[in-house]
Amino acid sequence: MPVSRRHFVSALGLGGAGLLAPPALGGRGLEARLESWIAATPSPLQKTGLIRLDSNENPNGPGAKAFEAIRAMFGEANRYPDAPEGPLIAAIAKEHGVAEENVVLGCGSGEILRLCVEAFVSTAQHLVTASPTFELPGNFARTMGRPVVSVPVDDKLRLDLGAMASKAGGAGLLFFCNPNNPTATVHGDAAVREFIARVRRDSPATFILVDEAYHEYVDDASYKSAVPLALADPNVIVSRTFSKVFGMAGLRVGYAIAHRDTANRMQRWRLGSGVNVLALGAATAMVSDREHVALEQRRNRETKAFTRAFFEKAGYEVGPSETNFLMINLRRDMRPVREACGKEGIAVGRPFPPLTNWLRVSIGTMDEMQRATEVFRKVLG
Ligand SMILES: Cc1ncc(COP(=O)(O)O)c(C=O)c1O
């Protein structure tokens, strides 16, 4: 979205002074005007009309506070981002009730995943991951020539924690995606604690990376974040992202919460100045915006229920989902279906072997899902 300051201010119908005055900025009124302005100012990609249900992004974007913060950071564009890192680290620490030394920033949580592989996986200490799960740690370890053990999910699409723990002996890192992408399943607090305790007992040197990218979308009451476990145990790390419920996938900010010693070890593998000033400003403004999170949770819940009902009514099994995407059992190879959807302007998830009969569909806006279900109806016959 091309945003010049003049364009931004005039498009919102506010004078520069009005925009700078805090009372004029809060509330949903500005949010609504911003949303209609974005709708009226499509990016080149939006102009193609493609409905993007392929990457589990938040279709609604980050909300007015983020855009205001980005505007305020324009003047820092010529500076390296070291200074504005401080406020974001402080805001994240405050949000989680942790010390600043427990926070590691990343250029998306993808950087956190990568640097954990670099820091903890070696030719002698393998990576334990799942199949399917988020591919980045496995792909990166393989690229580096590091051994990878992939444990299949069970017949309920859940990570097989018992089997993963049994492969952890001598591992450098265990990647535990909770909720899991792409299967959308989650493990409750008791199961997570038991699993971590078992890995810690059987393989004391192994680090456990709990990826909580979809944390805010979980409705299962038995689920809890593993952040308290990470604070208590130097071998447990939690990663989070601003790419999902916060709607900032294109801005690239994520972070880890870890014990001070572990965080220090991870910091050495960071790309210096890896998070840009605009993203730092937006994330600092958004991290404590509970109202925005609640709004996005509600939108996702409603639109996900609509999408689930469509597929179930059409006779398809839909997996449980604690995220902003659904897995649908097509009972046939999803690849031709994906291609046909693409030709009709609907991008859906990539293949996730060995589950190549399952289609992953990210939840878009209600309007997008209404249009997409018409295409699914046509393509699926
Ligand atoms: C489980 C999981 N972890 C990490 C990421 C990486 O996200 P980002 O680098 O945008 O924070 C993704 C992206 O889809 C994901 O699904």
Question: Residue-wise pLDDT tens for the chain (381 aa)?
Answer: 333 333 333 334 333 333 333 334 445 677 777 777 777 888 888 888 899 999 999 999 998 999 999 999 999 999 999 898 999 999 999 999 999 999 999 999 999 999 999 999 999 999 999 999 999 999 999 999 999 999 999 999 999 999 999 999 999 999 999 999 999 999 999 999 999 999 999 999 999 999 999 999 999 999 999 999 999 999 999 999 999 999 999 999 999 999 999 999 999 999 989 999 999 999 999 999 999 999 999 999 999 999 999 999 999 999 999 999 999 999 999 999 999 999 999 999 999 999 999 999 999 999 999 999 999 999 999
- Residue ranges making up the domain that contains 178: 76-286
Q: At 278, phi and psi to the nearest 5?
A: -65, -40
Residue 17 lies in a domain: no
Distance (Å) from CA 313 to ligand 1 centroid: 31
Pocket of ligand 1 contains residue 110 by CB under 6 Å: yes
SS3 content of the chain, % helix, strand, coil (to 5): 45, 15, 40
Does the reported pTM lie above 0.75? Answer: yes
Pocket of ligand 1 contains residue 284 by CB under 6 Å: no
CA-110 nearest atom, ligand 1: 9
SS3 229: helix
Residue 35 lies in a domain: no
Residue with the two structure tokens 């393509």:
379
The runs of H, that is alpha helices, within 258-380 are 260-267, 277-286, 290-313, 334-343, 366-380
Q: How many domains does the chain have?
A: 1
Contacts of 82 (CB under 8 A, 6+ apart): 273
Residue 36 lies in a domain: no
DSSP 330: -
Distance (Å) from CA 252 to ligand 1 centroid: 10
Pocket of ligand 1 contains residue 54 by CB under 6 Å: no
Residue 199 lies in a domain: yes
CA-133 nearest atom, ligand 1: 1
Residue 365 lies in a domain: no
CA-107 nearest atom, ligand 1: 9
Residue 82 lies in a domain: yes
CA-249 nearest atom, ligand 1: 10
Q: Which amino acid is at 260?
A: R
- What token pair was written down for 109? 């949580």
CB 88 within 8 A of CB 287: yes
Residue 322 lies in a domain: no
- What token pair was written down for 164? 């993963």
Q: Which amino acid is at 61?
A: G
Residue 346 lies in a domain: no
- Helix-helix angle 334-343:366-380, to 10 degrees: 120
CATH number of the domain encompassing residue 241: 3.40.640.10
